[in-house]
Amino acid sequence: MIDDSTTAGTDTASTPGVPVLTVDALTIGIGSRNNVKSIVKGISLSLTPGRIQGLAGESGSGKTVTSLAMLGLLPSNAVVGGSIRLGDTELVGMSHRQLNDIRGRRIAMIFQDPSSSLHPQLMVGTQLTDHVKRHLKLSTKQARAHAIELLERVRVPNPDEALSRYPHQFSGGQRQRIAIAIALACDPVVLLADEPTTALDVTVQAGILHLLRDLADERQLAVLLVTHDLGVMSAIADDIAVMRHGEVVESAPRQAIFSTPQHAYTRELLSSLPGAEGFQEATQ
Ligand SMILES: Nc1ncnc2c1ncn2[C@@H]1O[C@H](COP(=O)(O)OP(=O)(O)OP(=O)(O)O)[C@@H](O)[C@H]1O
Ligand SMILES: [Mg+2]
């Protein structure tokens, strides 16, 4: 692990079992002054080191907007209320400059399309080392060694050679692995993963999900896994929150969601899973 104790104003040393990021009564509206559309209507959830918090729900329910709020990446006409705390630091209302410091460094994100986290015209090595050189003040040689270590960890073949290749020279699954390596480069405490496998071939999805699971365990990362697909959740999430129309309608450990869903909407989502009948037993 890299010592980043110099980070100013973010007391986020992670303690097992203690939430590192806490969302409390979060509201998000988007629009102009007299026409603000309410999108997120007072949701609460927390992310804990080593645990994967799933966020499920239909398209348009507010999952992505919620995760963008945690990064301070909402459009400028968004109105945010409530609280998002990283350790002791309140992120709602924080300046762009302070948020820039936290983003990528304390809270990292991967997206559905790995290409959106990767620069098409920069070599993978540049993208991996630029971050760490700037944020962690490593020498070129140290940054390169760190990059190779990360690529090895996410199982990109021939990491040494991979550093001097461009994103388009990799498969979709490998690109997502590289995006994960970049996300982890500055040793964040929180990883937000928004539909990280949706754009991938089904044969490579499981590999990416298991990698996220292993990384959460090894690095005590607090992970938010956003997906509309409860099947994906069932593979790796510890806890699941179900969103609908900007509200969390149910939130519980994975097993309880699958074995004893309380809300009609959760039951509806579960019944749409392929092989839904045998599913409850398989998850016990
Ligand atoms: N920049 C924006 N301006 C206006 N409305 C927006 C903006 N971004 C999102 N919305 C609206 O906010 C609501 C929630 O969108 P969001 O992208 O969070 O949904 P989601 O749950 O991630 O859906 P999906 O599963 O399709 O990704 C939608 O009604 C969407 O139209
Ligand atoms: Mg989304």
Q: 114-158 pLDDT, tens per residue? A: 888 899 999 999 999 987 888 888 999 999 999 999 999 999 999
Tell the residue nearest (CA) to atom 24 of ligand 1: 59
Q: Model confidence over 262-275: pLDDT tens digits?
A: 999 999 999 887 76
57 occurs within a structural domain:
no
Instruction: State the maximum Cα–Cα separation within the chain, in Å, rounded to a whole number.
Output: 56
Residue 193's pLDDT is what?
97
pLDDT band at 12 (very low <50, low <70, confident <90, very high): low
70 occurs within a structural domain:
yes
Residue 275's pLDDT is what?
61
**Mean pLDDT across the chain, nearest whole number?**
90
59 occurs within a structural domain:
no
Q: Which residue has the tokens 């986290």?
A: 117
Residue 272's pLDDT is what?
81
Say if residue 108's pLDDT is above 50.
yes
The side-by-side arrangement of strands in the sheet containing 35-47 is: 35-47, 21-32, 78-86, 89-90
Q: Is the CB of 120 under 6 A from ligand 1?
A: no
Number of domains the chain is built from:
1
Task: Report CA(34)–ligand 2 centroid distance (Å).
Answer: 26
Residue 276's pLDDT is what?
54
pLDDT > 90 fraction of the chain, expressed in percent and rounded: 76
24 occurs within a structural domain:
yes
Query: How do 78-86 and 21-32 pair as beta strands?
Result: antiparallel
208 occurs within a structural domain:
yes
Q: Model confidence over 16-41: pLDDT tens digits?
A: 789 999 999 999 999 988 899 999 99
Q: Is the CB of 63 under 6 A from ligand 1?
A: yes
Say if residue 178's pLDDT is above 70.
yes
Task: Report CA(19)–ligand 1 centroid distance (Å).
Answer: 26
272 occurs within a structural domain:
no
Q: Which of 37-51, 117-131, 238-252 has the lowest mean pLDDT?
A: 117-131
284 occurs within a structural domain:
no
Residue 232's pLDDT is what?
87
pLDDT band at 13 (very low <50, low <70, confident <90, very high): low
Residue in 61, 80, 243 to alter for ligand 1 test, most ligand atoms within 8 A of Cβ: 61
Say which CATH number the domain at 175 has: 3.40.50.300
Q: Model confidence over 69-80: pLDDT tens digits?
A: 999 999 999 999
Domain that holds residue 167: 10-47+65-224
Atom of ligand 1 nearest to the CA of 62: 18
DSSP result, 200-247:
S-HHHHHHHHHHHHHHHHHHT-EEEEE-S-HHHHHHH-SEEEEEETTE
